[in-house]
Structure formats: C-alpha cells, structure tokens
Structure 1
Amino acid sequence: MTTLEEQIDVTTPVGRTWEQLHRVADYPRFVAGLRHAAAHGRNRARLDVEIGGVRRSFVAELTDHGRGRVMTWQTVDGVHLKGTFALRPLDETHTQVQLRLEYDPETLRDDLGGGPVGFAQSHTIEEAVRTDLALFKELVEHR
C-alpha cells in the first residue's frame, strides 16, 4: 500500500471549507477524471470516472469523525482507494486542508487500465492530487 500526504491552506473559515467538502455533486469541479458524483444513500457517493479514455463507476463510503473536522472515504467496489481529509483552522478566516490517500499502485493500474508504472505512476498521482487540491482551494475561496 502506498500513502500520499498533501496539504494546502485556503482563505476560508473552517466551517465553510467543511461544508464545501460535503458537496459531493461539486467533486467533478476539482477532482481530475471525475465526470459525475452524486450522494448515494446516507453515507455513500456514486462516482463516475474517466481516465485514459476508460470509464468506470464505483461507490465510496464517507465517514465523518465529528468535531475534529475529519472525513474518511473508502471505495466499496471497483477501484481500491482510501482517503482522509482533515481540516485544521489556522485562524478565523484560514484553514489548512490535509489529504492522506492510500492506494495500491498495481491494483490501481489494473482497475483503471494502462498508464505509467513505478516512479512515473507515483509522480503522476502526486501531481494530480496537488492539482485537485489547488482546484478545491479555488472553488471554496470563490464560491
């Protein structure tokens, strides 16, 4: 299992950042390859992705950890991914968004088809996550 940790500071209060993180339908606005996302029951989301011309759908289970402003998500079918978002207020108008992503490179490549391997794959995923966080920052700051 490979673990990637990234963070970004946003110029919004922690409460507003938390609310945006829970707007599942907005995920395609900041997650590369995600074409459609919708709530699917109380704690699940249906996600439709397209990567390298290959379309896949899967369901992710979302778990809030309350006042700590931590949300964990894990796919329950298809692509095997697990992530945790943790929000830390820096002051009244600034929040640090921390993301921890856990994935198996071989399984990810098999589930989504093709693409780079080894270091190139890790670099590609790191760049995608950094871009996703930058897009999230733009979205939450300009909403």
Structure 2
Amino acid sequence: MSTVKEAVEVAVPVRTAYNQWTQFAEFPNFMEGVEEVTQIDDTHNHWTTKISGVRREFDTEIVDQLADERIAWRTIGGDTNQRGMVHFQSLDEVHTRVELVMDVESSGPAEKAADMLGMLDRRVKGDMRRFKEFIESRGDESGSWRGRVTPG
C-alpha cells in the first residue's frame, strides 16, 4: 500500500474550502480521471473513474467528518482499496492549508507500475493544484454539508 501526501494553501477562508470539498459531485472539475461522483446519502458516494484507459467504479464511506477540520473516508466496494483524509487548517481569515493524505493499494500490474513511477503522486499534486485554482477562481463554495460523522 502506498501513501500519498500533498498540501496546498488556498486563498479562501477555511469554511469556504471545507464547504467546497463536501460537494463531491464537483470533484470531476478538478480531479483528473474522476468522471463522476454520485452522493448516495450523507456518508456514501459512488465513484466512476477512468485512469490510463481503465474504468473503475467503487463506493466510499465517510468514516469521520468534522466541519472546517477534516473528512476521512475508505472504499467499501469495487476493486479499489484506499482510505484517506483531507485536513483543513485556517492560516488566517482568508487563507487555508488543505492537506490530503491517501493510502492506496494498487490492484493490477499497470497500476503497480504507475505507482512505482510516481504517477499517483503527480496526479494528486495536480488535483490539489486544480482544487486551489477551482476554489480561488470561484471565490465561494458551490454548496455545503456541515453535518458531523463520528468514527466507529
């Protein structure tokens, strides 16, 4: 299992950055290879991705969520095994540090080779850079969900 970690500083308040991240259907706007994310309920999402010509569908479950602080998830279905957390840290009234940490288990030979070549790291770095551009160009979130999900 590989761990990928990337952070960006965004020029929006922590509330805005967090609220936008809760809008999973918007992920294809800044995440390369993500074709669609459908929110099933408050804690479950269905993902469709296409990376290097390989289409995958899987479900995720949010296992911990605290407004303006963190969102943690894990996969629960499909042929992808991952878990991760995005953490939000207010730097001042108009700047936020957004840090993404993911543990990903490559499932096939092509994915294992791509992982060894650092492609996953580069993809996540690009996704975080695009999130920064996306939220800063908007200046405001497209929606929000501020409920609490407690671990366990």
TM (normalized to structure 1)? Answer: 0.88
Q: Does 1:135 align with 2:130?
A: yes
Answer yes or no: is the 8 Å Cα contact 1:52–1:115 preserved in 2. Answer: no
> How many Å separate the matches in 1 of 2:111 and 2:5?
22
1:119 to 113, 116, 121: 116
Bigger relative contact order, structure 1 or 2 (CA pairs below 8 A, ≥6 apart)? 2
Answer yes or no: is the 8 Å Cα contact 2:18–2:68 preserved in 1. Answer: no
How far does the alpha carbon of each residue in 1:7-39 deviate from its partner, in whole angstroms, 9 at most, with x for none? 110000000001100001101111111101111
Distance 1:49 1:22, change over 3 A: same
Paired amino acid for 2:132: K
Residues 1-143 of structure 1: matches in 2 within 5 Å? 1-67=1-67, 69-78=69-78, 79-104=80-105, 108-110=106-108, 114-115=110-111, 117=113, 119-120=116-117, 123-143=118-138
Q: Structure 1 or 2: larger helix share? A: 1
Answer yes or no: is the 8 Å Cα contact 1:10–1:94 preserved in 2. Answer: yes
- Name the SS of the counterpart of 2:77 in structure 1: coil
TM-align CA RMSD: 1.6
> How many Å separate the matches in 2 of 1:67 and 1:57?
27
Give the unaligned 5+ runs of structure 2: 139-152
> How many Å separate the matches in 2 of 1:115 and 1:65?
29
Runs (4+) off by over 2 Å? 113-116
How far does the alpha carbon of each residue in 1:28-66 deviate from its partner, in whole angstroms, 9 at most, with x for none? 111111101111122111110111222111111123432
- Cα distance, 1:119 vs structure 2: 2.8
